[in-house]
Structure 1
């Protein structure tokens, strides 16, 4: 998955705006996983969450 992450299309939430603040980015298209990274450090570490864990995280934010 690591090589695929290098070329993955990363996206930010539309709620993040363009101020360059504390945002996370996610990459779509990985079966059973949601890669997550810090938007301020695009070459840094990537956290890989299972889809159930990602869903629980997003539901908890609502």
Structure 2
């Protein structure tokens, strides 16, 4: 028995006609990644400054 390829053609055509694609014209994903990177850098810098501030003791002699 020979398999008929016509039903598969209909399925392929249906899938092709009814498939959607998400378009991101503003490149939001890249902007979000950039902002997350800046946020992480800021948090690291703040953490370092807090550690230095907490570890520093100033003695004033009057």
**TM-score, normalised by the number of residues in structure 2:** 0.22
Of structures 1 and 2, the one scoring higher in RCO (CA 8 A, sep 6+) is: 1
Structure with larger Rg: 2
Structure showing the higher strand proportion among its residues? 1
